Amino acid sequence: MAKGEQANRSEEYLYKLSLNDKFQADVLELRRILGIPSEGVKDQDDRQKCFADTTKDIFVLDALFYLQEKYKVPLDYVFHLDDFIFFGKSTGDKKFQLPGYYYSSAKILPPKHTLEPDDVDLEEFYKDHKEPYVKILVFGDSTKSEVLGYLNQNWNQVEKILTQQGWKPQKRVRKTVHKERNRLIKELYKKTKKELEKEYGTTSQSKELLISKIMDKLGYGYVDDGYIRKIGPG
């Protein structure tokens, strides 16, 4: 990873979760229940059509929280899961997150917790899902530099409060390169050598070398068979 580049934690976390065969099977079943094509949708227009019936929003939310609870997905990441239900991967497009449901690592709230009558009360939401959180009060005469300085000096106290609620420090997340290439390698590796030879019209003495040929044929360039052996079964 280039110096100064930071991995998107939610994207990396969910990318790795998406490689889980059980997770993929659950997504496939949820697509069936929601009336989404088994292969997912191809573009944002098709996705928006799925929201034409407003009741489907509710069912999608149920699906997200089913996956969140089953796979212990951090609550901060849960609303990115709909990308995987519809596309099988993260698009990173906030515009097409479920309406009104986008969360980041922190949220600014007024004293009453909600801005509009139909807003989610985040504190109650986090309590209900037993998700660790910390409240920070910013007083009216505070300056930006004072607040940031206070947080920097007292971040250990923030971590202490989170730890008391079961939080564990996150390890540094390294950005996975070649996500689509790795995803395709895993999909190809699930098939038998005979199936691959028939489907792609090429042969080789080992499954890994065969997949290497296929990857080159599909425009991914040369991929070492040792790398394929490492990624494929994982």
| Structure tokens given for 37 | 């094509």
- Structure confidence by residue, pLDDT tens digits, 133-178: 898 888 888 999 999 999 999 999 999 998 998 877 766 656 666 8
140 alpha-carbon distance from chain centroid: 37
Closest CA to 82 of 107, 106, 61, 58: 61
Backbone angles phi, psi at 52, to 5 degrees: -60, -40
Closest CA to 135 of 114, 170, 111, 156: 111
- Structure confidence by residue, pLDDT tens digits, 81-114: 888 888 887 665 554 444 444 445 677 777 776 6
Query: Does the global pTM surpass 0.75?
Result: no
Measured distance CA(189)–CA(125) in Å, rounded: 41
Helices 179-189 and 207-217, interaxial angle, to 10°? 130
Residue 120's alpha-carbon distances to 56, 61, 77, 97, 102, in angstroms, are 19, 13, 16, 16, 11
Amino acid of residue 53: D
With 0-12 / 13-18 / 19 or more C-beta atoms within 10 angstroms meaning exposed / middle / buried, residue 67 is buried
